[in-house]
Amino acid sequence: MFHGSIPALVTPFTESGDVDFAAFAAFVGWQVTSGSAALAPCGTTGESATLTIAEHNAVVSACVDAAAAAAKAANRQSVPVIAGCGSNDTAVALAHMRHAQAAGASAALVVCPYYNKPSQAGLYAHFHHLATHCDLPIVIYNIPGRSVVDMSVETMARLAELPTVVGVKDATGNLGRVSAQRAACGTAFAQLSGNDDMALGFNAMGGVGCISVTANVAPALCAEFQAATAAGDYAAALVLHDRLWPLHDALFTDASPGPTKYALGRIGRMKPLTRLPITPPGDAARARVDAALAHAGVS
């Protein structure tokens, strides 16, 4: 269902701290014309943890509208929006899903509940409740480093039996999971990497794309990289991977999305403003981003 380069969109802010919807619409338009296959607003990179519920819902709606307008202007087919809908509160996650569906999103990206540390039974119950109370397709977001809970392959396989649980954003950092999940969940279950630096190996093992931080900054290159892997041209993909590698690394040299927003400021796409507790990246991180942009030829 979902494939290719899917930016985990940042959320631009104004100097006064509000969401900058004009900058966001322009940013979404650039992503569409640069070849991004889908868009994922209101995830970790979008600073969803510091958006109010009203802001969260408004960003999802703005993304759907801007993507549709940009696709029409570019004579492209509609660009799917995989809306961030996760919460450690099942009721809140369901409310996000219902809003996203009403706004026209194509799917919900739902993170494993953080902080609560549910058991595997709790994880299954959480996603089962969402899937049976809203028919918007669900992409599981498994990121143990942030949620402090890791969905097992067995639990994921049980959830994959539900008709609306269609894939996973896998940020476990374990490439072996791709093969294990492919065997357990089936080849139609869309496996999307959550780690740009592992996207080459991830796709070689059966993945079909990446929900990407780097695609915020280099959408055309990331789209070209994903197209090369989809065509089985791993020689071309390796060249692009080497070109993008320093950027993959540099964007995590300070708390995310600080370096990403700094990079977007450097190339004139938005003001590099974050919300506390995320602060601007330090001197060393900025120098790494500058060097990585030059290496990738992004300006």
The domains of the chain are located at 4-233
Per the CB < 8 A criterion, the answer to whether 244 and 26 are in contact is: no
Residues of the chain with pLDDT under 70: none
Catalytic residue among 114, 124, 141, 271: 141
Residue 117 known to be catalytic: no
Using the structure block, give the residue that is written with the tokens 């097992």. Answer: 152
Residue 141 known to be catalytic: yes
Domain 4-233 has CATH 3.20.20.70: yes
Catalytic residue among 114, 115, 169, 262: 169
pLDDT value for 1: 80
Query: What are the respective helix, strand and coil percentages of the chain, to the nearest 5?
Result: 50, 10, 35
pLDDT value for 59: 98
pLDDT value for 183: 98
Taking Cα atoms as reference points, which of 230, 280, 287, 270 lies closest to residue 28? 270
